[in-house]
């Protein structure tokens, strides 16, 4: 009976999120229902004796407090500080300055499809420092999209490349990557450099070639003929001085430079790196504006970003963990892993199965965060039951989640860039699906290499 309830609740959760109901409320409500069933029907203790309030019934809600306390103090603060720094960088215009530096080679390119490839590579450099799919996509629509169009690139080819700007959540600035590293018990810098980076570099190089042929094929199929004009990269008079281009890179220097990768005797965590980098950026602002009051007031943008991150991201992580905790306590995870073991499938097939499942969820939800945060808390227990390390399951799942999001016409970034260009989002994801299928194949190949 518990298994039937679990299936019904999971289906209900996916349905409600796809229908655009508030995902935090949906996951939290579902988790409470499952925990209540575990307590009242199965007689299960949902918290350990040490963490318990003394009442098994009250422990249903005490679970929320325990999970929230754990996440806000560690992972939550990391993600909020990253979001706050990103918001401050947006406020000072550092992203535009960074783009002005990396866009210089574009002036010399005359082939529209080679320009697409170069633009794609530039976007993948930027994504390491601008960890927001929608934010980066809109930045590229302001800066790179006009360059594409003037060079004879079709609207949909340009949007196909820009839509893939964050095809992989990568780097210590990514919420999904930070969560994956935390659950696997790994330093975020080590997770990025040792595990994500080889996959990211290989996939990016291959996807550059794939975009060249796929976007050209779609243009021919839809009867578009490139009409080249002289490329004129106009200076953005509203951007800050070019020196601001270094600001988004500073946290990465701190995080990687003072990490186990370089055996540094000094240790600096993500939160410290973000606040230190923000104060360095404030020094830049003070020198530029010559206004101490304006510089101090600018810091509110960081705290606004941190608050929004709590509202959107941290609450989603905690709600997802309550839901996952409910599935564990009700016995659904044990039943699932037991059933899979009885099927006699090897570990590779099981990992691919879970990767495909979470990719479909991301596609249906239009959100990589919603899908990954909802189910990643189950990964360590599933990995243990099928005899593999949690890293071997979480890494490919985390990467594949991004692919599902990029192919979804209801993803915020896809909807946003489609709106700016006045095209249907369905037309855009037609241009992103084939590259993401190629990326999925590469991810599976790395799965076999790393296993």
Question: Which ranges constitute the DSSP H helices of 241-346?
Answer: 250-257, 270-289, 292-298, 300-309, 315-329, 332-342
Ramachandran category for residue 385: left, alpha or beta (phi over 0 → left; psi -120 to 50 → alpha): alpha
Burial 182-215 (b: 16+ CB within 10 A, else e): bbbebbbbbbbbebbeebbeebbeebbebbbebb
Which of 120, 101, 107 is closest to 158 using CA atoms? 120
Handedness of CA 402, 404, 408, 410 (dihedral sign): negative
CA dist., res. 318 & res. 254, Å (int): 28
> Which domain does 178 fall in, by range?
2-450
CB neighbour list of residue 57: distance below 8 Å, 6 or more residues apart: 39
Which stretches of the chain drop beneath a pLDDT of 50?
230-231, 233
Under 8 Å CB-to-CB from 100, ≥6 apart: which residues? Answer: 235, 236, 239, 242, 245
Helix or strand or coil: residue 244?
helix
30-44 burial, b for 16+ CB within 10 Å, e for fewer?
bbbbbbebbbeeeeb
- Please say whether the beta carbons of 138 and 97 come within 8 A: no
Indicate the helix (H) or strand (E) that contains 153.
none
Instruction: List, for residues 30-49, the tens digit of each pLDDT value.
Output: 989 999 988 888 888 888 88
Q: Any residues with CB less than 8 A from the CB of 147 and at least 6 apart, and which?
A: 103, 106, 115, 119, 231, 233
Give the chain's domain count. Answer: 1
Burial of 421 (0-12, 13-18, 19+ CB in 10 A): middle
In whole angstroms, how large is the CA radius of gyration of the chain? 23
Contact of 181 with 187, CB cutoff 8 Å: yes
Contact by Cβ (8 Å): 175, 84 = no
| pLDDT of the residue at 344 | 63
Q: Are the C-beta atoms of 261 and 189 separated by less than 8 Å? A: yes
pTM of the prediction? 0.76
The pLDDT value given to residue 229: 54
- How far is residue 189's CA from residue 268's CA, in Å, rounded to a whole number? 11
pLDDT at 230: 45
Q: How many of the other CB atoms lie within 10 Å of CB of 11?
A: 10
pLDDT for 451 equals: 66
For residue 133, which of 360, 307, 370 has the smallest C-alpha distance? 370
The closest of 381, 324, 435, 377 to 180, measured between CA atoms, is 377
Helical axes 425-450 vs 197-221, angle rounded to 10°: 140
Residue 340 confidence (pLDDT): 63
CA–CA separation, 392 vs 451, rounded Å? 6
């Amino acid at each position: 009976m518990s298994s039937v309830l679990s299936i019904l609740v999971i289906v209900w959760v996916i349905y409600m999120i796809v229908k655009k109901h508030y995902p935090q409320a949906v996951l939290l409500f579902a988790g409470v229902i499952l925990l209540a069933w575990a307590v009242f029907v199965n007689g299960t203790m949902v918290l350990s004796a040490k963490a318990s309030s003394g009442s098994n019934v009250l422990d249903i809600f005490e679970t929320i407090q325990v999970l929230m306390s754990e996440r806000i103090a560690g992972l939550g603060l990391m993600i909020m500080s990253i979001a706050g720094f990103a918001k401050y960088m947006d406020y000072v215009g550092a992203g535009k300055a960074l783009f002005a530096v990396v866009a210089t080679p574009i002036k010399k390119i005359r082939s529209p499809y080679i320009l697409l490839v170069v633009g794609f590579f530039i976007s993948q450099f930027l994504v390491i420092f601008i960890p927001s799919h929608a934010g980066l996509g809109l930045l590229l629509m302001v800066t790179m999209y006009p360059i594409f169009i003037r060079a004879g690139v079709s609207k949909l080819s340009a949007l196909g490349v820009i839509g893939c700007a964050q095809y992989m959540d990568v780097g210590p600035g990514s919420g999904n990557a930070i969560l994956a590293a935390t659950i696997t018990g790994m330093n975020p810098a080590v997770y990025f450099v040792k595990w994500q980076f080889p996959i990211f570099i290989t996939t990016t190089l291959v996807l550059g070639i794939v975009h060249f042929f796929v976007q050209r094929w779609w243009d021919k199929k839809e009867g578009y003929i490139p009409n080249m004009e002289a490329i004129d990269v106009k200076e953005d008079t509203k951007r800050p001085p070019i020196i601001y281009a270094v600001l988004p890179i500073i946290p990465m220097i701190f995080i990687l430079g003072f990490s186990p990768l370089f055996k540094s005797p000094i240790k600096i965590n993500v939160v410290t790196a973000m606040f230190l980098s923000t104060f360095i950026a404030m020094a830049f602002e003070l020198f530029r504006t010559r206004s101490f009051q304006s510089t101090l007031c600018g810091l509110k943008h960081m705290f606004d970003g941190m608050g929004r991150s709590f509202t959107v991201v941290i609450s989603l992580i905690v709600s997802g963990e309550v839901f996952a905790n409910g599935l564990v306590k009700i016995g659904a995870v044990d039943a699932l892993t037991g059933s899979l073991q009885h099927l006699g499938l090897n570990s590779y097939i099981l990992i691919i199965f879970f990767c495909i499942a979470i990719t479909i969820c991301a596609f249906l939800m239009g959100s990589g965060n919603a899908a990954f945060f909802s189910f990643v808390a189950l990964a360590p227990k599933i990995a243990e039951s099928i005899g593999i390390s949690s890293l071997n399951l979480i890494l490919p799942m985390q990467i594949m989640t991004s692919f599902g999001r990029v192919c979804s016409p209801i993803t915020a970034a896809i909807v946003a860039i489609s709106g700016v260009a006045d095209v249907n989002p369905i037309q855009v994801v037609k241009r992103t699906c084939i590259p993401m299928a190629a990326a999925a194949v590469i991810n599976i190949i790395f799965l076999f290499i790393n296993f």
